A and B are shown apart, each in its own frame.
Chain A
Amino acid sequence: MTWHHAQFTRREILGKCLGSVAILSSSPTSGVVEALGQRETQHRRPTPPNEIGPFYKKGAPPTATLRAPGDPGMPLTVRGQVFNTRGDVLSSAVLGVWQADHLGHYDLDGYRYRAQVPVDSQGAYQFDTVIPGHYPDRVCQHVHYLVLAPGHKPLVTQLYFATDAVFEGDPDHNFGRDPLLHSRELVRPVVLAGDPHDTQAVVRFELVLELL
C-alpha cells in the first residue's frame, strides 16, 4: 500500500502541526511534571466515554514504551493521572492503550503500539509512543484507552490531538468533523518540547472514572 504520509520527515510533520494550531508551545513541561506529584482531592467530572472501536486486543504487554528505537513518526509522550469522581487517585487502575502506527495501521498480528501502562502510587501514568496516523476509516488521529479499577465503572475512551489537521487549528469548532468524537474534552493540547532537530510531542490526559 502506498501512503504519502510515509514520505514525511519529522520536520515536515512538525511543520504541519505548527501550521495548524495556535496552542502549541515550545516551553518545557516542568509545570506539567510538577502537577503530577500533587495529590488531587477535588471532585471531578468523569472522562467522557468514547467507543472501543474494532481493534481492541487483550493480553497487551505491561510496558510504558510503545515506541521502538528508530520508529518513524513524531515521538509522543502521553502522561496523566487516574482519578475517580471524588478526586481520589486510583493507583490500582489497570490502564490499557492501543493505537495505529504513524501510517494509520493497527497491528492485529502482534502488540505493536499496544500496552498495559503502569500506574504508580499517585495514580500517575506515562507512556512513550508516536503520534498515530489517520486510520482510513476514521476522521481523526486517536489513541484508545481502557481503564479498569475495582469499584469503578470501566472507562473506554479515546484521546485526540488538537494538532490534528482535521481541526484546521480550531478544535473548538471543528471537533464534530469526526462523527465518533462527541466531546471537545477528549481533544487535548499538544506541547512540543526539545530542540528543533529532536522535537517531541507531549500530551496530558487525565482520566476520571465513575464509582459503581
Chain B
Amino acid sequence: MRWIAFFCALISIEPALGASLKLEKTITVPPEAVVRFTAISPKGDWVAGACQDGRVRVWSFPSGELRQALDLEDQRVSSLRFSADGALLAVGGDRGGVRIWNIPSGKLKLELKVVEAVIGLAISPDRSLLAIARKDVPALLWDLTTGRVITELPARFAGSQAIDFSPDGGWLACADGDTEIRIYEGHTGALRATTSDLLLESFAIVFSADGRTLYAGGADKTVSAIDVASGKVLRAFPRQTYAVSGFARSADGKILVALYFDDRGAANPAPVVAWNVADGSLEARVFEPKVTPNGAGFLGNRVIVTSSADAKLLLWSLR
C-alpha cells in the first residue's frame, strides 16, 4: 500500500540476556490508523489493529498489506481476538456488541449483543464456541452453532479481564476481577479448578502448548505458571517493575512473550519480555524510550511482532 513505508532498521534495541531481539522491520501506519491495540493471529499471518478512527484494520503479515477495514458502527472497539487458525476475527465493543468476521474475506459471520463492555474474547479451536469476558458482569460461554448462551461464568464479584481456551479446547480459563482465575471445562463451562493464590488482578492469561499449564500476569507484575488440573500456582517468573497486559506464545510453545505496561500511567513506555517457559528465565527484553507497546504476537518460533501507540508495527527476530 502506498501509505505503508517499510524499512529495515537492523539495530539491537537492548543488550542481549539469554538471547537478543533484533529489530528487522518497521511498518508505519498512517495517522488515521493509529493503533490503540492489536491482536495477532497465532500463526502470525494476520495483524488486526483497533485504530484511533474507530475502525479495525487487518494487515497480512509480514507483507504489511492492508486487507480489511472493519468496524462496529456505533461503539468503540474494546477487544480483538483471532481464532487459532486465523480464519475468524472476533471484535468486541464497549457497549456489548460482538461481531465475527471471516478473514481474509471480511465477510460478516455472526453478530451478537451482550450487556456491558466486552473486555476479552476467545474462540474455541473448533470454532464452535465463543467465550466473552465482560466488564462488571459474569463472562459468557456461547455456542456459535446455535447462537445461544451455554452458561455464565460468574466470579464472586466484578467482571472478568481475560479469557482463553486451551489449544485442544478442553479447558477454558477466565481471569476475574475478584483476582481469582477459574478454570472450566471448555465445552460445558463446568468449573473444575480455582486459583486463589493471586492477590492482584490478572489482565492476561494464556495456556501452554500442551494445555497443562496456564500462564497469568497482571497487576502483580509477575508471570505465574498455574497447574491447570489443580489451579495451584507452580512457580512465578522473576518480577518486573511493570504490570503485565498481554501474552503471546511461540508456535513451539517454548517462548512466552509478555507485554507490560506502566501502572503509573498506561501511556508511559514499557518493555516487552521474551520468557523461556522451561525454566522461567528471561530470554530477551526490549524497552524503547517513548514507546508504549500495545500488542504482541509470533511469526513462527523466533520472530516476534509488536505494535505500539506511535503508529508502528515492529518485527523482531529472537536470536
Q: Which of A59, A106, A137 has the most CB of B within 10 A?
A: A137
State A44–B104 Cα separation when bound (angstroms): 54
Find B136's partner among A52, A105, A146 (CB 8 Å cutoff): A52
When A49-B136, A108-B220, A156-B136 are in contact, do A55 and B158 touch as well, CB less than 8 Å? no
Closest residue of chain A to B239 (Cβ to Cβ) is A109
Q: Is A148 an interface residue (CB 8 A)?
A: yes
Taking the nearest CB of chain A, how far is it from the CB of B56, in angstroms? 21
State A137–B263 Cα separation when bound (angstroms): 9
Q: Is A197 an interface residue (CB 8 A)?
A: no
Please report the number of residue pairs spanning A and B whose Cβ atoms sit closer than 8 angstroms. 60
A56 and B177 within 8 A (CB) = yes
The A interface is mostly helix, strand or loop, or mixed, namely loop
Residue ranges of A at the interface with B (Cβ–Cβ < 8 Å): 1, 49, 51-52, 54-59, 105-106, 108, 136-137, 146, 148, 154, 156
Taking the nearest CB of chain B, how far is it from the CB of A84, in angstroms? 16
Find B201's partner among A54, A59, A137 (CB 8 Å cutoff): A54
State A156–B179 Cα separation when bound (angstroms): 14
Q: Is B266 an interface residue (CB 8 A)?
A: yes
B158 and A156 within 8 A (CB) = yes
Q: Is B243 an interface residue (CB 8 A)?
A: yes
Closest residue of chain B to A100 (Cβ to Cβ) is B264
Q: Is B6 an interface residue (CB 8 A)?
A: no
Q: Which of B179, B200, B220, B264 has the most CB of A within 10 A?
A: B264
Report 19 cross-chain contacts, Cβ distance below 8 Å, ordered by A residue: A52-B157, A52-B159, A54-B201, A54-B203, A54-B219, A54-B263, A56-B158, A56-B177, A56-B179, A56-B201, A57-B179, A58-B178, A58-B199, A106-B263, A108-B219, A137-B265, A137-B266, A154-B158, A156-B177
Query: Which residues from A are CB-within-8-Å of B264?
Result: 1, 105, 136
A154 and B156 within 8 A (CB) = yes
When A108-B200, A137-B265, A154-B156 are in contact, do A51 and B136 touch as well, CB less than 8 Å? yes
